[in-house]
Structure 1
Amino acid sequence: MAFATSRPLGFGDCDPAGIAYFPAYMDMLVAVTEEMFADFGAPWPEMVRDRRIGVPTVKLDVDFSTPAFHGDRLDFTVAVAALGRSSADLRHRVVVGDRTVWTARQVLVATSLDTHRAVAWPDDIRAGLAAHLEKQHAPDPAA
């Protein structure tokens, strides 16, 4: 099941015309991803400080569909499309009401902060990410 959260689009997130400024969206993407990890018991400050694990973004692809405006409530969902030994392929969707505002594909990699090399997800973090795996549809046997 996808992780879901929401937040208002504030004055500081917009250009002078009151339209969302796209770099602010990237700050929100990081904040929502961090919130998802904290929600399943892996807060990033503890991962960094105590476990010496970082989760850099190694791929980010964003599609902007329609503008959002100052005061809009942005509803975020994040699903895990694929989970590798040390990577997680996340799919973000942001809507205002019934309008999709933007979508993104983000690939994170678990990395040792000491060696700067990929490491396997610890079991508890892997379980937290797996809880957000998208359900794959079984092929239709009649097809």
Structure 2
Amino acid sequence: MAFETSRLLGFGDCDPAGIAFFPGYMRLLVSVTEEMFAASGTPWPAMIRERRIGVPTVKLDVDFVAPAFHGDELDFRVSIARLGGSSADLRHRVAVGERTVWTARQVLVATSLESHRAIRWPDDVRAGLAAHLETNDARDPAA
């Protein structure tokens, strides 16, 4: 099941004309992804400070479909297309009402903050992420 949340498009996320500016979108994408992990039972502060696990973005592909404006409520829908041994392929859809304003494909990788190398998802993190898989066959067979 997809993770869903909303964010108000603030002044700091827009250009002088009040139109959303892409760096603001990226800040929102990170905050929504962090919220999804927390809702899945693995908040980033604990992962980073206590478990020494990072989740850097290693690939990001964004399609801007329509403008959004200062004060718009952005509805985020995040699902996981594939959950690998150490990676997760996320799909983001951001809409204002029924109108899609942007979509993104994001690949995250679990990494050791000591070695900066990929590590396998811990079982509890994997279980939390698996709740957001698009389909039951979206798991990596080698995972």
Normalised TM-score (structure 2): 0.94
CA drift of 1:12 comes to 1.0
| Larger Rg over CA atoms | 1
Runs of 5+ unmatched residues, structure 1? 138-143
Cα distance in structure 2, aligned partners of 1:91 and 1:72: 21
Per-residue deviation, residues 67-89 of structure 1 (Å, max 9, x unmatched):
00011000001000000000000
Report the counterpart of residue 120 of structure 1 in structure 2.
120
Per-residue deviation, residues 98-123 of structure 1 (Å, max 9, x unmatched):
10000000000000000111000000
Per-residue deviation, residues 6-39 of structure 1 (Å, max 9, x unmatched):
0110111111101001110000000000000000
RMSD over aligned Cα, in angstroms?
1.0
Normalised TM-score (structure 1): 0.94
| Runs of 4+, deviation exceeding 3 Å | none
Cα distance in structure 1, aligned partners of 2:123 and 2:21: 37
**Residue-pair matches, total:** 137
Runs of 5+ unmatched residues, structure 2? 138-143
Cα distance in structure 1, aligned partners of 2:80 and 2:11: 31
Q: Percent identity of the aligned residues?
A: 77
Report the counterpart of residue 76 of structure 1 in structure 2.
76
